[in-house]
Amino acid sequence: MIRVKLRAWTASFRYPTFQSGYQPTLPVPPPSTIQGLLSAAKGEPVYLTELPYLGYVFKSEGKGVELEKIYALGKVETDIMKREFLYNAELYLYLPDEWEEHFRRPKYQLLLGRSSDVATVEEIREVHLEEKEAPVGGTVLPLELGVPGVVHALVVEYDYSVTPRKARMVRPFVVLPFSKGRAPKLKLPYDEELGVGVYLHRWHE
């Protein structure tokens, strides 16, 4: 498998339940953001249910709040809202080898959220992860694993064959921020460099 490291100054992941006047960010990207990234890299819609596996780990150095001006279609007036963002973000993707060519020369801009959250590919390398009991974080986990944490219903992938796009699969997940302290442990493929276990999603099964 390969590990693709992406870096961005800022990242923002939309909360599933929008709150008027204040937009918080999830601490890690939902699967649908990963679908968007892979689709941008390949230059065509990619469906996560067609991948043999996919793992990811997200880290950032903190969180801030900015003011954003909103323009509504057909209206002259604008609105101002507060929006959270994550800064100095790193995303590690664990993918089959054939994805290396798409991230060497991505077709479109790679984004970690909004159009201003531009990411660059910093490194692509082959990795061999040995399974062991390891702390896990910086990702989302299926609810059935029983790991304690905040639960959200998140879109796994959108159907891009219709306009507007529609959610094709929604699942409950435990959203786990990356932790440098105590973190739940699971027996998983272990990334020694990051010191974290990598959960490999297999939505095709």
Convert the pLDDT of each residue in 159-185 to its tens digit: 999 998 899 999 999 999 998 788 899
Question: With 80 as the cut, is the pLDDT of residue 57 above it?
Answer: yes
Tell me the backbone φ, ψ of residue 45, rounded to 5 degrees: -60, 130
| 46 CB neighbour count, 10 Å cutoff | 20
**Stretch among 46-50, 101-105, 112-116 having the lowest mean pLDDT:** 112-116
Predicted pLDDT of residue 15: 83
Please state the rounded mean pLDDT for residues 96-124.
96
**What pLDDT, in 10s, does the model give residues 188-199?**
999 999 999 999
Under the banding of pLDDT at 50, 70 and 90, the label for residue 69 is: confident
b/e per residue 70-89 (b: at least 16 CB within 10 A): eeeeeeeeeeeeebbbbeeb
Please state the rounded mean pLDDT for residues 111-133.
95
Task: Check: CB of residue 155 under 8 Å from CB of residue 173.
Answer: no
Question: With 90 as the cut, is the pLDDT of residue 20 above it?
Answer: no
Task: Check: CB of residue 56 under 8 Å from CB of residue 189.
Answer: no
b/e per residue 111-125 (b: at least 16 CB within 10 A): bbbeeebebebeebe
pTM, rounded to two decimals: 0.92
- Which structure tokens are listed for 154? 């998140």
Dist CA 46 CA 95 (whole Å): 13
Predicted pLDDT of residue 19: 61
Dist CA 16 CA 156 (whole Å): 12
Predicted pLDDT of residue 39: 97
Predicted pLDDT of residue 27: 95
Q: Tell whether the torsion through CA atoms of 45, 141, 205 and 102 is positive or negative.
A: positive
Under the banding of pLDDT at 50, 70 and 90, the label for residue 205 is: low
**Stretch among 22-26, 54-58, 118-122, 201-205 having the lowest mean pLDDT:** 201-205
> Of all residues in the chain, what percent carry a pLDDT higher than 90?
79
Task: Check: CB of residue 179 under 8 Å from CB of residue 171.
Answer: no
179, β-bridge pairs:
none
- Which structure tokens are listed for 187? 């027996």
